[in-house]
Amino acid sequence: MERAAFIRESIDFLQSYMMKSLQKHAEEQGVTIPQARVIGEVFAHQAISIKQLSQNLRMTQSTVSDIVERLTAKGLLVKAPNPGDKRSVAISLSAELAGDINENISEISTRSLAGIMNLLKQDEQEIVEKGMQLLVTAAKRKMEEEGMEFYEFFHVLYFQGDNKSEMKSSGEDTR
């Protein structure tokens, strides 16, 4: 269990580093950290109410509403009537931002990880890569054992020992 705790903490640390890299990039683009958090939450849910945003982000509704107004004015978010609740609006990414965000997040994340990997010697980089392949392959086996057949949020391009070298990001089951 101690090993698993170390790995979980390591993954949490790397995820925190990645988020900080994304936040730094967002600030360089004129988006504040709270605004980046709102954009990230909208991105994760595709369409979400201000009430749900404020609950998920642990911010007041007035703060979230102000942030949404600023981002809407910048053309980054879109507000539309919520078909399920006439009293609220659904917040979503603008078409332009939605088209760019996946590519940008992936590119920024890859650059951040490359910067970390470049601090390691070549043989150390190979050890890290091999370890990640083993861990991801084991996670895939565990998912299959537990009947988790769809990989809609599991974007990994390579699974060791798998004939399918690419998982579809559309949520399509490739088995």
Distances in Å between the Cα of 57 and the Cα atoms of 54, 66, 86, 114 are 5, 14, 23, 29
Q: Domain span at residue 125?
A: 121-170
DSSP state of 171: S
Structure confidence at residue 151 (pLDDT)? 54
Structure confidence at residue 96 (pLDDT)? 82
Whether 166 has a pLDDT exceeding 50, the answer reads no
Question: Are 27 and 46 found together in one domain?
Answer: yes
Question: Are 76 and 157 found together in one domain?
Answer: no
Whether 94 has a pLDDT exceeding 60, the answer reads yes
Residues 41-87 have pLDDT tens digits of: 998 888 899 999 999 999 999 999 999 999 999 999 999 988 778 78
Question: Are 76 and 115 found together in one domain?
Answer: yes
How, if at all, do strands 77-81 and 89-93 pair? antiparallel
Q: Which of 20-24, 55-59, 171-175 has the lowest mean pLDDT?
A: 171-175
Question: Are 35 and 100 found together in one domain?
Answer: yes
Residue 109: name the closest of 32, 40, 30 by CA.
40
Whether 172 has a pLDDT exceeding 50, the answer reads no
